[in-house]
Amino acid sequence: MTKIQDPMLSFEEELNMYLAGNSIDCVIFGYEHQELKILLLQWKHHPVWSLPGGFIRKDEDMNKAANRVLIERTGLKSVYLNQFRTFGSVARSELHKNAQFMRLDLFKKSEVFSAKTIAWLTKRFITTGYFALVDIEKTSPKPDFLSAKCEWKSLKDTPPLLLDHNDIVQKALEHLRIRLNYLPIGASLLPHKFTMQDLQKLYEAILQKPLERSNFQRKLLKLDFLNRHEKQMTGAANKAPYLYSFDMIKYEKLIKQGIGFSF
Amino acid sequence: MTKIQDPMLSFEEELNMYLAGNSIDCVIFGYEHQELKILLLQWKHHPVWSLPGGFIRKDEDMNKAANRVLIERTGLKSVYLNQFRTFGSVARSELHKNAQFMRLDLFKKSEVFSAKTIAWLTKRFITTGYFALVDIEKTSPKPDFLSAKCEWKSLKDTPPLLLDHNDIVQKALEHLRIRLNYLPIGASLLPHKFTMQDLQKLYEAILQKPLERSNFQRKLLKLDFLNRHEKQMTGAANKAPYLYSFDMIKYEKLIKQGIGFSF
C-alpha cells in the first residue's frame, strides 16, 4: 500500500494519481542470528500481514516506484533491488475480490473509503515482484499509513500473508536459490569480514538444508571472489578460523557474468 | 496487437474485453543459416515493424496471453516461453503518445477507430517481455489483423521497431547471453543431431563474437549434457566430425539447477 503523499488529498483523490490495475510488491531479505528474514507489514484494522508494496504513480517509472517503497519502509537508499517476476494470474484477482477483510472489515471500519475507492482497490491487479538483499542492522523499518507494524520476520515463521503474497515470497526464494548456483550472494547480507562458517550458515539458511563443510569451502574458494584476512582471535589460535571478505571487483564482475563459465 | 476474436464485435467493443494499460511482447528467437533470427510483424497501414504482442483478456492469465500470442503467430504449441522482464518506464508511454503513426496515419487512415479507442491504445502501457526459442522450420508465421507481414528477420538486420521494441529485443538478448553462462541452450534451436561446430556457431551467433574452438569444446564437454554419436560422413573419414545430441534428462536438470555448481 502506498503512503498518502499529500495530506490535503483524500485517499480517493490520491488514488487518481496512480496507474489502475498495476502494483509492485517487494520481498526484502535480510539475515540475522543465522536466519533468513523478510520485512513484513501488519495492517491497522485487521491483523493480516503483507509484503511491503505500492502503486505506480502515473508519472513514475515502475522501477522507481519499487525503489520508493524500499526507501520508505527501510530507510535504505542505493540497495540491490531487482525485478524477479510479474504475477498476472486471474486467480490472484479472485483472491482480491474474496478478501473479506478488504471489502468489509477494513474498509467499512475505517469509513474513509468510498465505493469507488473500494472498486479501485479490489479490481484485478498485475503485480511485479522485486527482491532486495539488505543489511538488517542498517534498516529502520517504518509502517505505511495503512499498517500498524513493519517488522522483520524469520522466513521459517512467515505468517499467512495477504492474497498470493506467500506465493510471491516462495518464488523470490526460488529465484534467490537458483542465483546461488551462478551468482555470488552475501555482500549485502554479511558483515564486511566473516568466517567461512558464517558464509556457509548463510547459504544453508537460503537453501534450508545443511551443506558439507569441506565441499562448501572448496567450491567457494575455487570461485576466487574471496579475500583471506587474519584469523578471528576468539579461541585457541590453532583452531581460530580465517576471516574473509568479498573482493568487490571480482564480485561485481561475477554478478554481471555469472559463475558458470564465461565465453 | 491482438487478433479480433469475434467478427461480430467492433474493435472498441473487443478492447473492452482486455485489461487496460497492460500488454505483453514476445521476443521469439530462431536460428537458421548460422544466424540468430527474431519474428517480427510489419503493420498494414504503415511500414513500421514491431514485436508480436498483445493484450491480456480480463479473464485470462498473463502467461496464457503470451502463450496465445506465440501460438497465433507461429502455430507452435508447448514451446519454451519465459518472462524475462517487465518494462514500466514513463518514457515508453511518451513514445506511445508521440508515435505519429499511431495517432494519425494508421488510425485516421483505417477509419475504424473511435477517439475512445485511440485513447485506450495510446495510454501508458506496462508491458511484460517474454522470450521463446523455437525451431524456425516448424513455424508457420501468420500476421495478426493489424499487420500485413509476419517474418523471420536476422537479428543483425533488425529494422527500427515500434516504441521501445528495439530495447526489449536488446534486453532479451542480454538475458539469453547471461543464460548461456549458466544454462544449457540449443535444444530448441538445433536439429536433433549436430556437430560441435554447429553448436559453436550457435553460441557465436548469440554472443556475436568468435569463440576459440578447442576451449569451447572442452568447456561444453565438461558440462556432460551431450551424447556423442557416429561421425558425420560427408568428407574424408579421418576428418569427419562427430555428431552430438543433447542428453535431455541431464539438459532438463541443468535448466532447473544451473550449470555453475549446485549445492
Boundary residue ending a domain (B107, B136, B171)? B171
A206 → chain B, closest CA residue: B263
Same domain, A118 and A237: no
- Closest partner residue to B86 among A62, A178, A258, by Cβ? A62
User: In this structure, is residue B140 part of a structural domain?
Assistant: yes
Question: Cβ contacts (< 8 Å) between B181 and chain A: which residues?
Answer: 182, 257-258, 260-263
Contact A128 B86 (CB under 8 A): yes
B128 → chain A, closest CA residue: A86
Give A221-253 pLDDT, tens digit per residue. Answer: 988 899 999 888 776 667 789 999 999 998 888
Mutate one of A182, A219, A220, A259 to test the B interface: name it (highest B CB count within 10 A). A182
Mean pLDDT of B137-160: 92
Boundary residue ending a domain (A138, A171, A204)? A171
Give A139-191 pLDDT, tens digit per residue. Answer: 999 998 888 999 999 999 999 998 899 999 999 999 888 888 777 888 889 98
Which of these, A129, A11, A154, lies nearest to A66 by C-alpha position? A129
CA distance B138 to chain A (A): 29
CB neighbour class for B213 (10 Å; exposed up to 12, middle 13-18, buried from 19): exposed
Same domain, B74 and B200: no
Contact B176, B129 (CB under 8 A): no
Interface predicted TM-score of the whole assembly (ipTM), two decimals: 0.86
Size of interface A-B (CB pairs under 8 A): 107
Same domain, B237 and B140: no
Same domain, A165 and A200: no
Contact B73, B65 (CB under 8 A): no
Which of these, A121, A124, A24, A9, lies nearest to A73 by C-alpha position? A24
- Closest partner residue to B60 among A60, A90, A207, by Cβ? A90
Give B58-76 pLDDT, tens digit per residue. Answer: 999 999 999 999 999 998 8
Contact A258 B178 (CB under 8 A): yes
Same domain, B64 and B151: yes
- Structural domain harbouring A60: 7-171
Question: Cβ contacts (< 8 Å) between A63 and chain B: which residues?
Answer: 88-89
What residues have CB less than 8 Å from A88, skipping those under 6 apart? A126, A127, B22, B56, B61, B62, B63, B128
Same domain, B47 and B148: yes
Question: Cβ contacts (< 8 Å) between A83 and chain B: which residues?
Answer: 85-86
Same domain, A25 and A87: yes
Same domain, A201 and A166: no
Contact B240, B232 (CB under 8 A): yes
Contact B181 A60 (CB under 8 A): no
Give A28-85 pLDDT, tens digit per residue. Answer: 999 999 999 999 999 887 788 999 999 999 999 999 999 999 999 998 887 888 999 9
Mean pLDDT of B49-65: 95
Three cell numbers at B237? 573419414
Same domain, B145 and B202: no
